[in-house]
Amino acid sequence: MLISVSNITKFKLEDLQKPKTGLYMIYVDHWWIIDKDGNVLLYLDHSWQCNSNENVAKTFRDKVYPDLDVVQVPVVYTPYNY
């Protein structure tokens, strides 16, 4: 499966772990694909590259992002409009 780098937006994980006010989607105990700089990935401005199932996240990572890591994160706050 090919995913164009131009379709990926990166967000610093540490910024998305801080509680916020307003309308946010909250991901609890999800497995996130993370690059070496500590960024999580958003594909096509609406698909966060994470999953609640570790095996699914790792299988997807192996096929699409083989050089990146999969990490379970306790909580992530993403803007609801994504």
Give the per-residue pLDDT at 3: 66
Written as one letter, the residue type at 7 is N
The pTM score is 0.88
Written as one letter, the residue type at 38 is G
CA separation, residue 35 to residues 11, 23, 42, 65, 82 (Å): 10, 26, 12, 9, 20
| Among the listed residues 29, 44, 37, 30, the one whose alpha carbon sits nearest the alpha carbon of residue 13 | 37
Pairing of strands 39-43, 8-12: antiparallel
Q: What is the signed CA dihedral for 49, 53, 59, 64, rounded to 10 degrees? A: 0
Across the chain, what does the average pLDDT equal?
90
Average the pLDDT over 33-50 and give the result.
93
Q: Where are the domains of the chain?
A: 7-79
